[in-house]
Structure formats: C-alpha cells, structure tokens
Structure 1
Amino acid sequence: MPHLRPLLATLALLAAGSAIAASPPLLEPGQLIADASLPKPRLDAQILAARRYATFWDSGNPALAHQALAESFTDRTLPAGRPQGIEGPLKASAMMKAAIPDLHCRIEQMLVTGDRVVLHLRFSGRFTGPFLGHQGAGQAVDFIATDIYRIADGRITDNWHIEDNLSLLRQLGVVSN
C-alpha cells in the first residue's frame, strides 16, 4: 500500500482546494467611503479583511474568521462570558447560527481611513432555534451593529463593537417591550 500514499496525498490536496473554493462569495459593502490617500495595496488589504470578517458573520464559516483575524486579535468590548481572541467570535457565531440558522449579515456602509475600518452592519433572519432558554417560533429578527477594526498587515488586530442588543432580545422574546 505504500504506492498509494502519493495518490492519497494528491486527493487530500484536491479536496482541501475544493473546500477553499467552496467558500461563499465575500459580501460587498452597500456604500464604501475610503481615504484616497491610503496606498492602494494597504486599502485593498483592509477592505478584504473587513469583507472576510463580515462574510464570516453571514455564513458562519470559521475559515473566514481565521483569514480575517490576526493571531493576536483582541475584542476591546468583550461581552461577559465570551472568550478573548478568535475563539470569542467563533463561539458567538455558533450560538447565533443555532438560534437563527438563516442569519444573514449585510454591510450597509464601510469607512476606511488610516489603520481603521468602520462597518455599519445589518443582521436579519428567523429565530427558529434555542437561545438562552427560549425556543424560536420563526419570528423575524432584524438588528444593526457597528464595528471599528484596527487592521495591521491585512488582518484585524482589534475590534470595538456595539450591537442593538435590546432590539435583538425583544425580537427573540428574551425581554419584553
């Protein structure tokens, strides 16, 4: 069977390549406002990192989070109970996708200047799964978030974010109006 090892290795590489090719298309911003004085390669790298991260939230594909976030990624507005680093967004995305399997994210606006990218995001879907002891009944969910990223070497190193959690929790029925 040693003669099959090269063939198996080639098949493994092909399978990995098709998994990469199967990644969802990156989200496009509805409106892009960019500092024209930034060098084009730097601007492109910052936009790419932000688009990858937004597409991660849309798709739940952890490979996109790994591509977008630096190894030293720090959540500067870390919610209680969420682990710091890349594990935090992975855990949060999994929890949201369990509660709202069709959760979609849109980039309404993207602003790029210096080493910062600011995103105005809109999330929507139907609450059909479990969330904090509540079971969804198919109700619509629609809320916004604003993220501020610091980007170095084409990767997000820091994130400051605020979500309209009150609207989300009301729509999920976790808190009353």
Structure 2
Amino acid sequence: MHAKFLAGLGLLLSINIYVSTAYAQDDLPVPRNIVADKSIPAVQQQSMALAARRYYAFWNTGDAQFAQAALADNFMDRNLPAGRPQGPQGALFASKNFRAAVPDLKLEVEEMLLVGDRVVGRLHFTGHFSGSFHGQQGDGRKVDFIATDIYRVADGRIAENWHLEDNLALLQQLGIIKN
C-alpha cells in the first residue's frame, strides 16, 4: 500500500511539471489513488493523466477551457445519451444543462488507473439540486452519486469516452423517480 502511494505521488509530482500556466495547477483535481501500468513510458503516463485531470477539472468547475484542453477535436462519446450532440460540444452541452440543476456540482476522483492508452476514473459527484431539471425546480436537496469514465487518450487528448453514471440514484435524489 505504501509503495502504491509513493508511486502515485511520484506520478502526480511529475505531472504537475507539465501543467499549463493558463490555469493554476490547484484547479486540477488530484486523484486519491493512482494505479499506472508500469509498461507505459513515464512521458505517456504524464500526458494521459494530465488529459484526464483536465477533463475532471471541467466536470468539477464547468469551465470550458478545461474541456477544450482535454478533448481531441474529433472526440467521440461512445455512449452518447439521447439529445446530446456528439463531440466536444456534447460535453459542454451536458455540463451546462446539469449545472442548471446542480450549480454547485463538485467532483472528487476516487481512483485513476492508467492502462495501455486508457485512463479509467472512479468518480464521486456531489452538490445540491437548487436549479431546475426537466421542468422541476430544485429545493436544495443534496445530490451524491458515482460514475466511472474510461478515456482513450491519443496525442495527449481524450479521443473517446465511455461512461456510466449511477443515474437511478441521481434521479431518485432529484425527485424525478420515487424510491
């Protein structure tokens, strides 16, 4: 356990060297645990982790600059929900609409795994339903759900994304589906 922590800390320290000065490195969420395939060269690990952390920062803040830095121009959402545009604009659309319901949405990265050309993130979202969602006005109730994202990273940017959110828990917390 101690060796994993030190390896993850070393990876994070080396990643921080590569963080763009366009925003503070404190804006990039730090995973609680990082597991990296040792066969991936260190520079590639850094590039993959930075792309993922930028995208995590986008979901944590809603700031489009992070999505633009993280996503490839030809980004594909491989389980695109109905009504969401494909490509980087789809992520911006999703964030804008979800933040209309949960303006204080926050993301914690429980774990980040780097395997081959993939980054897998175990994510934890929290906030309060104080906006509106599908015509229903929020009452400030707490929102707390998990998600798992899998990114394929190419040339330092996320080219593809597969994601699974605990939508049942979310919709129950929003009061859309009764328990």
Shorter chain as denominator, the TM-score bin is: 0.7 to 0.9
How far the C-alpha of 1:97 sits from its partner, in A, is 1.1
Gaps of 5+ in 2: 1-20
Q: Sort the Cα spacing of 1:72 and 1:100 in 2 relative to 1 into closer, same or farther, 3 A.
A: same
Query: Which residue identity lines up with residue 174 of structure 1 in the other structure?
Result: I
2:45 match: secondary structure: helix
- In the alignment, the residues of structure 2 paired with residue 129 and residue 22 of structure 1 have an alpha-carbon distance, to the nearest angstrom, of 28
Deviations 1:119-169 (A, max 9, x none): 000000010001011100000000000001000000000000010001000
Q: Which residue of 1 aligns with 2:72?
A: 70
Aligned partner of 2:101 in structure 1 is 99
Offset of residue 21 of structure 1: 3.7
1:35-50 matches, within 5 Å, as 35-50=37-52
**1:1-177 to 2 correspondence within 5 Å?**
20-21=22-23, 25-177=27-179
What residue in structure 1 maps to residue 9 of structure 2? none
Aligned partner of residue 38 in structure 1, secondary structure: coil
SS at match of 1:175: coil
Letter of the 1:25 partner, please give it. D
Structure 1 residue ranges, 4+ long, deviating more than 2 angstroms after superposition: 19-24
Choose 161-170 or 20-29, whichever is displaced more. 20-29
Question: Which of 1 and 2 has greater Rg?
Answer: 1
Q: Offset of 1:20 from its aligned partner? A: 3.2
Q: Residues of 2 paired with 1:95 and 1:164: CA distance?
A: 17
Cα shift at 1:25: 1.4
Which runs of 5 or more residues in structure 1 are unaligned?
1-18
Amino acid at match of 1:133: G
Structure 2 residue identity aligned to 1:168: L
The two structures, once aligned, show a CA RMSD in angstroms of: 1.4
TM-score, normalised to structure 2, is: 0.86
**Kindly, what percent of the aligned residue pairs are identical?**
54
Task: Give the aligned residue type for 1:60.
Answer: G
Query: TM-score, structure 1 length as denominator?
Result: 0.87
How many angstroms apart in 2 are the aligned matches of 1:126 and 1:85? 28
> C-alpha separation between the residues in 2 aligned to 1:41 and 1:23?
18
| In 1: Cα distance, 2:142 partner to 2:161 partner | 28
